[in-house]
Amino acid sequence: MLLDTHALIWIVLGTSIHEDAAAAIVAASANGGVHISAATAWELGIIQQKRSLNVLIAGDVRGWLSKAVKATRARLLSLDFDLMVDVGELPDLAHRDPADRMLIATARSHDLILITRDRAILDYAAAGHVRAIAC
Cβ atoms of residues 111 and 2 within 8 Å:
no
The predicted-structure confidence for 104-132, as pLDDT tens digits, reads as follows: 999 999 999 999 999 999 999 999 999 99
Count CB atoms within 10 A of the CB of residue 98. Answer: 13
Please state whether the predicted TM-score (pTM) of the whole model is above 0.85.
yes
The predicted-structure confidence for 8-54, as pLDDT tens digits, reads as follows: 999 988 888 999 999 999 889 888 899 999 999 999 888 887 766 66
Q: Partners of 116 in the beta sheet?
A: 134
The predicted-structure confidence for 85-102, as pLDDT tens digits, reads as follows: 999 999 987 778 899 999
DSSP states along 39-106: HHHHHHHHHHHTTTTHHHHTT-HHHHHHHHHHHHTPEEE---HHHHHHHHT-TT-----HHHHHHHHH
